[in-house]
Amino acid sequence: MSELIDKALNDCDDTDIVIMGHDVLDETGHVFKELFGDARAIVIADENTWAVAGEQVTASLTANRVETVEPMVFPGRPTVYACYENIEKIRDHIRDLDGVIACSIGSGTLNDLTKRASDELGRRYMNVCTAASMDGYAAFGASITENGFKHTMSCRAPQALIADLPTMASAPRRCTATGLGDLIEKVPAGADWILADELGIEPINNEVWDLVQGPLVSAIGDPEGLADGKPEAFNGLIEGLVMSGLAMQKYRISSRPASGAGHQFSHLWEMEHLGMNQEPPLTHGFKVGLGTISVLALWEKVVDHDFTTLDVEAAVATWPSAAQMEAKVRASFTGDMLEPAVKQTMDKYIDAGALRERLELVKSQWPTIRERCRAQVMPAARVEDIIKAVGGVYHPAQIGLTRQRFHDTYYRCQMIRSRYTLLDLLVETGTISDFVEPLFEPDGFWGQRPWPQS
């Protein structure tokens, strides 16, 4: 295990053990016995992850005198979806198995489902990681779709993780691409947090910041090595993903340390079921990667802008009332997304007086904000190249987004989360169209990357 992870564990309440290395699947039984004593174990997997590690994990449990019950194995196809209905299946299945402790085998979905199901029963669990595909292994909370709206449900992180590097490196290339896409959004998410910090909305926790941002550059710095399957490149990526989860576990308030406006692009598309009907479904990290490029294209223009000249009174004069803001949201969403979007937007709504105070702060703090954020962000084209190198999604047309639908995402995704990001700054200053529209002009970022002719 890396020194960074070892140090991070000292400050985490939920996760006690992370075994990361080569050929460590056989450690599963020993770790289970150390943590859970004489408790029985149930392995939870799908047919794909069972084929990768099911027999070896079960053998390790048996060798360490852990009694196992019949495993719960979901079908490999269609791909298991991170919805609340599947949490209920796991919870209801293991509820009557007195004292049984789950050992999930999988990546994002199976880990999150088992995490929440175990937590609802007041039980702990452990996870065997199968791919470098997301940053939620060690995170507090699970990203779940419930009643059509994706949100983070509170639940304790796994008590132990087994991260076998050869197993994770041999996962399909799309898994690695999705993990890198999830992780690289921490770049603009960091700038969003800087912005919230400078405006007194959500102060940066420096210890948590270091857990995420410290290993980030090295974790995303060798995309060619990831594409070629180099073990050292995977060491960095997996360490970065685990550290990001540990940071969220330590922070606990929200997923702020690891999720910014780039994630909001993905969450909107997921709520609209983009790519969910294909097999395998379009991954979260693919969409987050594209969201990262999208937001960084905005940041490039924003850090060159001078908000010290902002006309505060003009912005306040055009600021909608609470009733007008709610009406705007209701005109933008329908179905299951409507009421949650209204709540998220109104949770962060401020009246004209508070807006005036905030915008005066933007003006006075802008030189500091600009320099801190300029040092944090990366060029959108550089991230585009990184994602392209690992086989991720770097253009909206790749996932079936029309130019208009993608364009509208810049405006609509701001309304689905109460978290303050760059998008909120642009809405509150009345400048969002001034920055978004040029991206789609012939010489703009997306104008230079046209959609294929239908």
161: closest CA among 16, 63, 58?
A: 16
pLDDT at 250 (0 to 100) = 87
26 CB contacts (<8 Å, ≥6 apart)? 56, 59, 60, 63
Task: Give dist(CA 45, CA 33) in Å, integer.
Answer: 20
Task: Give dist(CA 63, CA 48) in Å, integer.
Answer: 23
> What torsion do the CA atoms of 178, 31, 81, 212 make, to the nearest 10 degrees?
-40
144 CB contacts (<8 Å, ≥6 apart)? 82, 83, 84, 87, 112, 113, 116, 150, 151, 152, 153
Sequential pLDDT tens for the chain (454 residues):
577 788 888 878 899 999 999 999 999 999 999 999 999 999 999 999 999 999 999 999 999 999 999 999 999 999 898 899 999 999 999 998 988 999 999 988 999 999 999 999 999 999 999 999 888 888 888 989 888 888 889 999 999 999 999 999 888 899 999 999 999 999 999 999 999 999 999 999 999 999 999 999 989 999 999 998 887 788 889 989 988 988 988 888 888 999 999 999 999 999 998 988 788 888 899 999 999 999 999 999 999 999 999 999 999 999 999 999 999 999 999 998 999 999 999 999 999 999 999 999 999 999 999 999 999 999 999 999 999 999 999 999 999 999 999 999 999 999 999 999 999 999 999 999 999 999 999 999 999 999 997 5
Q: How many residues are there in the chain?
A: 454
Task: Give dist(CA 363, CA 307) in Å, integer.
Answer: 6
Domains of the chain (ranges plus CATH)?
Answer: 3-171 (3.40.50.1970), 177-205+259-439 (no CATH)
The residue whose two tokens read 């642009």 is 426
Task: Supply the pTM of this predicted model.
Answer: 0.89
